Amino acid sequence: MSADFPSEASNNDIHYKGGCLLNDNFWWGAIMLAYQLRPIDPHIVGDSWRDKWMERLENMPLWMAQWMEHQTRDDYWKHGSVCENYNDIEIPVFALDGWEDSYTNTVLSLMEGLSVPRKGIIGPWAHVYPHDGVPGPAMGFLQEAVKWWDHWLKGIDNDVMDGPMVNVWVEESMEPSVKKPISKGYWVGLESWPTAEAVQTKGYQLTHGKLVENRGDQKEQVLLKTPQNHGLLSGEWMGAGVLGESPADQRLDDGMAMVFETDRLENALEIVGYPKFEVELMSDKPHAMLFAQLSDVAPNGAVTRVSYGVMNLTHLNGHDRVDLLTPGEKVKAFVQLDCCGHQFKAGHRLRLSLATTFWPMFWPMPEDATLTLNLETATLSLPTFHGQQVVGPNMNPESAPLTPITTLQEGRVDRSIAYDILTDTWTCITDGVGGVFGEGIYRFDDIDVTVEHNLKRELTLTNADPLSAQYTIYQKMKIGREGWWIDADITVTKTSDQENFQIVGEMAIKENDKQVFHKEWNQKIKRHGL
């Protein structure tokens, strides 16, 4: 199986992370509106296509609102979470994903939770098949998959279970870039997960802007409150192999965060697994979030993100409940960062960045909280790796014949950030012209069906007010052939106040230039710890 699904659906999928609301929940819900409005082909089902299509349009939910009705780990999410009972899985599992994707945690979760024969591969790739391999290098996924199925479906005796349980691509220090066609690195092997080869160590303590191995017993408190626009250069939550998705040089974002940094490393440091930050803190508001990021600082000052995590501090007792913070009361907080595989070169520094905001990846909390961190309790633990490099999987990518397609117009994805100095307002725009992921306008030659899907995202936020956040998505979906054209326009906007989220929108659909369907939305969803 590909690991582009979560082992735990409420906080490792496209909706929530660390109990905080991902803005990709809104984006994916909007895309689903466009995907699901596509009609059934009359060449396949005949004249019944229109009635079936209209029935689907009338009953289609407002997807993002449906998901936002479930803001904690309730039965809705448990139903789709394999971690509820790993023993329900009784077949061998082959799980793969890549560092530029958003589901890499699932690979190690499955390796730890399952009891069936299992193998895992974590490469450098985005949300694409590994034989397409972006960023490269690509791997021979089809050959590895056939070998797996030959063994477990046909009973062929081969070497599919030889070698380590998990092959992991360890990325070397690289200059940060939003364009990342190639990942520099090498393969290592893990005999199990958890593994003695990657030991979680209390690596660093925090003091006076430094990460140190021993800070002594000195007392130190710091106030943490970051601007709402911290995170502008974070890249996409889920990379899809499109230019501009990778995080940029983090110096700008870190300039709005609180940073702690080691001295230059005397020797290279390898980590494989989950970094974790822990601290005792107080909040001045009942709602707050804590963000933590681990980065690699090059000798020239360039900052490359290695891993990050976020925690809704009303979820410290579990994502299945909301316990509002009592202002001024101390709590033990933590942020588990995403799993990673990275080598810090000698002469580089490790940097920990802390923040209370992360826009535009996450929707802001309803209040602009200030956290008081007790640094004498603060630790950054790292999964230090002591294993060996391995040959890794088949690295000769092959592909089956592609579906015959003619590209009628090349697509592109434009990205920009604008700043209004007078109002201290930031606007982030991503514009997929001709295709959501830049795939262009194309025709399926075998069935003579042309597809055009444009999507523009516009996120706006004023630093003075977390309730100023607004997210609008504009879409056009056009699909059909000569004599049968479906042309849809969709606009949806999300805002919020102290108590509620609000989604308004409109869908208008034409068939051969005649309007045949129109729908409007105006829906409120009560905020629950968000």
Segment 360-392, tens digit of pLDDT: 999 999 999 999 999 999 999 999 999 999 999
Nearest Cα to 490, choosing from 63, 49, 22?
63
* Amino acid identity, position 340: C
Tell me: pLDDT of 4 over 70.
no
The tokens describing 367, both together, are: 């209040």
Task: Give this prediction's pTM.
Answer: 0.96
Q: Residue 181, SS3? A: coil
Where is 385: in which H helix or E strand? strand 371-385
8 A C-beta contact, residue 7 and residue 15: no
Tell me: pLDDT of 80 over 90.
no
Nearest Cα to 221, choosing from 379, 375, 378, 380?
375
Tell me: pLDDT of 202 over 90.
no
Using CA atoms of 499, 327, 259, 198 in order, give the dihedral in degrees to the nearest 10: -90
Name the residue with tokens 């600082």. 297
The confidence score (pLDDT) of residue 2 equals: 42
φ, ψ for residue 236, nearest 5 deg:
-90, 145
d(CA 441, CA 147): 36
The confidence score (pLDDT) of residue 391 equals: 95
Cα–Cα distances (Å) from 250 to 41, 157, 302, in that order, read: 47, 49, 8
- Over pLDDT 90: what percentage of the chain? 92
Nearest Cα to 36, choosing from 54, 11, 22?
54
Q: What is the pLDDT of residues 237-256, one digit of tens each?
A: 999 999 899 999 999 999 99
**Can you tell me the mean pLDDT for 193-213?**
92
Tell me: pLDDT of 285 over 90.
yes
Burial 398-432 (b: 16+ CB within 10 A, else e): eeeeeeeeeeeeebebebeeeeeeeebbbebebeb
Q: What is the pLDDT of residues 59-77, one digit of tens each?
A: 999 999 999 999 999 999 9
d(CA 512, CA 72): 44
The confidence score (pLDDT) of residue 6 equals: 59
- Interacting residues of 379 by C-beta distance below 8 A, sequence separation 6+: 202, 203, 204, 205, 206, 277, 278, 279
Q: What is the pLDDT of residues 415-454, one digit of tens each?
A: 999 999 999 999 999 999 988 888 999 999 999 999 999 9
The confidence score (pLDDT) of residue 173 equals: 95
d(CA 47, CA 469): 45
Tell me: pLDDT of 292 over 80.
yes
- Interacting residues of 325 by C-beta distance below 8 A, sequence separation 6+: 283, 285, 286, 287, 288, 313, 314, 331
d(CA 97, CA 148): 16
Tell me: pLDDT of 205 over 80.
yes
Tell me: pLDDT of 17 over 70.
yes
d(CA 212, CA 261): 8
Q: What is the pLDDT of residues 150-195, one digit of tens each?
A: 999 999 999 999 999 999 999 999 999 999 999 999 999 999 999 9
Higher-scoring residue by pLDDT: 8, 238: 238
d(CA 442, CA 116): 42
Where is 478: in which H helix or E strand? strand 465-481
Tell me: pLDDT of 30 over 50.
yes
Burial 194-208 (b: 16+ CB within 10 A, else e): ebebbeeeebbbbbe
Name the residue with tokens 């034989």. 131
Mean pLDDT of the chain: 95
**Can you tell me the mean pLDDT for 322-340?**
98
d(CA 365, CA 288): 6
The confidence score (pLDDT) of residue 419 equals: 97
> What superfamily in CATH does domain 198-385 come from?
Galactose-binding domain-like (2.60.120.260)
8 A C-beta contact, residue 455 and residue 413: no
The confidence score (pLDDT) of residue 435 equals: 83
d(CA 516, CA 424): 43
Query: What pLDDT band is residue 291 in, cutting at 50, 70 and 90?
Result: very high
The confidence score (pLDDT) of residue 518 equals: 98
- Interacting residues of 366 by C-beta distance below 8 A, sequence separation 6+: 287, 466, 467, 496, 497, 498, 499, 527, 530
